[in-house]
Amino acid sequence: MEDDLKKNNIAPGDKRFWEKEIFAQIKDTNFYRQMMETIPVLVYAYKNSKVVYINPAVEKTLGYTFEEMTQKNFWDICHPDYRNLIRERGLARLRGEKVTTNYEFKILKKNGEAIWVDVFFGTTRMNNELIGIVGAVDITERKLLKEQLQAARDELELRVKQRTAELSLKNKELTMLNRILNNVVNNMSDGVIIVNRTGEIELSNHVFEQNWGALADSIKMKLKDEILQRKNDFINDMFDRRIPFQDEEFIYFASGKQVHLVASGTPIINEEGVVSSGLLIIRPIKDVHKLVNRFSGAKASFNFEDIITGNPTMQELIDKAKMAASTVSNVLIEGESGTGKELFAQAIHNYSQRSKGPFIAINCGAIPRDLIGSELFGYVEGAFTGARKGGNPGKFELASGGTIFLDEIGDMPLEQQSALLRVIQEKSITRIGGTQAIPVDVRIICATNKDLQTEMHNGRFRKDLYYRLNVISIKIPPLRERKEDIRLLVNHFLRNSSANWKPGQDSITPDMLQVLEAYDWPGNVRELQNVVERMVNNAKDTNLSLADLPFELFFPEAIPKKEFLHGQSSPAGGGKTILELMETRKKRIKDEERRLIIDLLKVHNGNVSMVAREMGISRTTLYKKMKLYKVDE
């Protein structure tokens, strides 16, 4: 053969050389048998349905002998999950039908163990009969590796899905938390800034921008400069020593304006444990003052409608006060004690454009002489022994944007008068012990029960201050000069009595009004209110009568200048004792009431019901009084 190949120019290394050699050997039956006996592939043949041949690889792998296998159908060794499929396809193949020739499925060993095989089905003819040929390769290990790989892939996919779901949930939570925190930061009433060590602003909320407007950028630049130049001890301690600070005052000059604010700071520590930035909460000092005034009751309660009067002079004063409210000029209210000076001051404030601002009232005569300066203008920390830590703003600072009411201005010491004059001229204050000028925007209303012109002539009040304060002058007349207001005021006080006086029982009888109008009322409206309150609380009946009026209204001349013991005489009472004067008063009341009953019986022709109605008492009470005074119908 080699000679033939050489003749045909076919070398031993050529593919055609070996094809020719193999085909020649296949014709040799022994060669084919030897190949089937040694090949590691499971090979068996079946005729009709029965196994007719197996090679040693089948016996070795499955554990069946040839005799045992020839007793089986070709599908019997298949795993139950695949048995029907292999049977139908194998029989169809014997019938000459075209079916799939390659499968992967499980077969069972004799010991019941299942293995995976990759099977090729074929057919051949022998003695004119169709024989089925099966070739199977054990792929259990490969399949197992594939299953393990698939299981690992499935587990990985599951873990990825789980982790993705967890991350998605965390992301949603973080997104929600971020949204909540943004809402919190942006809806805070204070400005919020996060600043780093180099002074760069990492975050600022819109409240900060709103509060400061055009000054916001200037404040940020000033803050950056302070951090870089290490000018602020509070901020330095926050970054260097991790010490937070709270409610500290800062005063800057930015864009030609003074910026007065209160700030709190908290250090922010990063993952390395280093303070990388700080959280600053900033609010304008005016907002702090507004909050203080809100909770301290620094507001005006009365309006012009609360001034009860029917007096023409008082009506003119109210009109004048309304005109004063439309300006920013200082107002001086003069009048005796109890005439309602603060009521006018509050009404002017509430009628003005400053009505939404604070109304700070301070009694200059009630503050100790050495404390009035710190009370009005405030002080810095350490200004004097006992000074509050951090200092304290004065009334002028708290009143900024509103009105300050200086009552009893005539009692202010001269040294403080000069300080007040400087505040009026410069529109700024300097706290005691401090050097920083703080601008204030206040409307000043003063009140006094003294004659300030007399005080000036006597050297107790500065002329320049008087002319500064007395821009608009309002002089409230005493109650004795407007007697027509007494009935109106009494009825008003009865309706608003703390004793809950019932409606319909608030009118006063003519004889009572006569006594009230005859009295001089040195305490003015305040004294009248006190008298009405005493009458209501001491009344023995549901109606008021002359007997309920206080003793001093009948005998003002008997009011002692000092306390007298029981039985002692009062010089003002003509040598009579207090008890004697009271007895005289009772007799006078009875005489006047008897005369009133007789007069009314004449007017109403003896109609007892009409008399009782006019006197404001019941018929039963009237009959008792008529019997007591021996008055006939």
Residues ≥6 apart with Cβ < 8 Å to 282: 190, 191, 192, 193, 208, 211, 261, 262, 263
pLDDT, position 565? 32
User: Strands of 129-138's sheet, edge to edge?
Assistant: 50-54, 42-47, 129-138, 114-126, 102-108
| Chain-centroid distance, C-alpha 357 | 22
Q: Clarify whether residues 456 and 427 are in a common domain.
A: yes
CB 256 within 8 A of CB 263: no
Q: Which CATH number characterizes residue 276's domain?
A: 3.30.450.20
State the pairing for strand pair 443-448/403-407: parallel
In sequence order, what are the residues at sequence separation of 6 or more whose Cβ sits closer than 8 angstroms to the Cβ of residue 107?
62, 77, 78, 79, 114, 115, 117, 136
504: left (phi over 0), alpha (psi -120 to 50) or beta: left
- The residue-averaged pLDDT of 42-62 equals 86
Q: Are residues 313 and 458 in the same domain?
A: yes
Residue 7 within any structural domain of the chain: no
**Whether 110 contacts 81, CB under 8 Å:** no
- Give the relative orientation of helices 15-26 and 29-38 as an angle to the nearest 10 degrees: 100
Helix intervals (H) in 125-244:
140-186, 206-212, 216-229, 233-240
396 shares a domain with 337: yes
- What CATH number did the domain enclosing 594 receive? 1.10.10
Considering only CA atoms, which of 443, 471, 474 is closest in space to residue 354?
A: 443
CATH number of the domain where residue 510 is located: 1.10.8.60
In a domain, 392, yes or no: yes
Q: Can you say whether residue 117 is alpha, beta or left, with left for phi > 0 and alpha for psi between -120 and 50 degrees? A: beta
Half-sphere exposure of 419 (CA within 13 A, CB side): 17
Q: Do residues 545 and 610 both lie within one domain?
A: no
Where do we find the tokens 């921008």?
209
Task: Give one word for 407, left, alpha or beta, with left for phi > 0 and alpha for psi -120 to 50.
Answer: beta
* End position of a domain, from candidates 242, 272, 289: 289
> Is the same domain home to 385 and 307?
yes
Query: Of the ranges 55-69, 122-136, 171-185, 327-341, which one carries the lowest mean pLDDT score?
Result: 122-136
Say yes or no: 416 and 503 in one domain. no
Say if residue 416 is in the same domain as residue 536: no
> Are 401 and 431 in the same domain?
yes
324 and 472 share a domain? yes
For residues 398 and 388, give the distance between their C-alpha atoms in angstroms, rounded to a whole number: 17
The domain boundary, picked from 446, 477, 508, lies at: 477
Put simply, whether the predicted model's pTM sits higher than 0.75 gets the answer no
Which pLDDT band holds residue 80 (cuts at 50, 70, 90)? very high
Boundary of a domain, candidates 289, 308, 330: 289
What distance in Å separates the CA atoms of residue 152 and residue 171, rounded to the nearest whole number?
27
DSSP 410: G
Give a yes or no: residue 34 inside a domain: no
Instruction: Examine the pLDDT at 509 and tell me if it is beyond 80.
Output: no
Statement to judge: residues 533 and 570 lie in one domain:
no
Sign of the torsion angle spanned by Cα atoms 376, 380, 385, 390: positive
Residue 204, classed as helix, strand or coil, is: strand
Which one, of 509, 516, 519, 555, lies nearest residue 532 by Cα? Answer: 516
pLDDT at 312: 92
Parent domain of 445:
297-477
Residue 135 has what DSSP assignment? E
Residues 52 and 99 in one domain: yes
6 domain-assigned = no
Mean pLDDT over each residue of the chain, to the nearest integer:
81
Cα 396 from chain centroid? Answer: 28
Greater confidence (2 vs 321) lies with 321
Q: Within a domain: residue 162? A: no
User: Does 1 reside within a domain?
Assistant: no
| Separation of first and last alpha carbons in the chain | 176
User: What is the DSSP code (8-state) at residue 548?
Assistant: G
Q: What is the mean pLDDT of residues 429-438?
A: 82
Residue 571: which pLDDT band, with cuts at 50, 70 and 90?
very low
As for how many domains the chain has, the answer is 5
Is residue 171's pLDDT more than 70? yes
Residues 526 and 571 in one domain: no
Integer Cα distance of 396 and 469 in angstroms: 16
> What is the pLDDT, as a whole number, of residue 567?
38
Q: 365: which 2 tokens?
A: 């005569």
CATH code at 311? 3.40.50.300
**Domain assignment of residue 565, yes or no:** yes
What's the chain's Rg over C-alpha atoms? 57
Task: Assess if residue 319 is contained within a domain.
Answer: yes
Neighbours of 470 (CB within 10 A): 15
Whether pLDDT at 194 is above 50:
yes
pLDDT, tens digit (0-9, with 9 covering 90-100), for 262-272? 888 899 988 88
